[in-house]
Amino acid sequence: MGMIVASVPVLIIQAVSPDEQATANGLQNLIQGVTTTVITQLVYVVLAQDSRVVQGTRFYLDAGYKNAMLLGAGLAAVGLLTVALIPKPKRTKDVTAGEALSHS
């Protein structure tokens, strides 16, 4: 997972113009954070549907874990389908990086 997350900014830099690189990377970070939060909450909602509380402690049952894994498999399938929508990246030697702004 770490290698994927680390390579995404490079892919974005290759896919957008130099004027839009910072905005695109910022938007990617925002979308990644929101998506992680929403998916985590969905998994816990699915787990909680098949759970029992015994003396104040919630225990998740096997059916809840099975459903959470099915949710994960479904999300992975959707992710694989969206890969087809990603444009082919430019070659690294063809990419023009934007210049850093200097604060004088």
* Per-residue pLDDT tens over the stretch 18-63: 888 889 989 999 998 999 999 999 999 999 999 999 999 999 999 9
Residue 97 domain-assigned? Answer: no
Does the reported pTM lie above 0.75? no
Residues 6+ apart with CB under 8 A from 48: 58, 60, 64
Residue 62 domain-assigned? Answer: yes
Residue 11 domain-assigned? Answer: yes
Residue 28 domain-assigned? Answer: yes
Q: Are 50 and 61 in contact (CB under 8 A)?
A: yes
Residue 44 domain-assigned? Answer: yes
- CA distance linking residue 25 with residue 13, whole number of Å: 8
Residues 6+ apart with CB under 8 A from 51: 58, 59, 60, 61, 64
Q: Are 47 and 64 in contact (CB under 8 A)?
A: yes
Residue 95 domain-assigned? Answer: no
Q: Where are the alpha helices (DSSP H) in the chain?
A: 2-15, 21-49, 62-82
Query: Per-residue pLDDT averaged across 1-6, rounded?
Result: 72
Residue 96 domain-assigned? Answer: no
Q: How many domains does the chain have?
A: 1
Residue 104 domain-assigned? Answer: no
Query: Per-residue pLDDT averaged across 56-72, rounded?
Result: 94
Query: What's the domain range around 34?
Result: 2-83
Structure confidence at residue 1 (pLDDT): 63
Query: Per-residue pLDDT averaged across 6-28, rounded?
Result: 85
Query: Would you place residue 78 in the very low, low, confident or very high pLDDT band (cuts 50, 70, 90)?
Result: very high
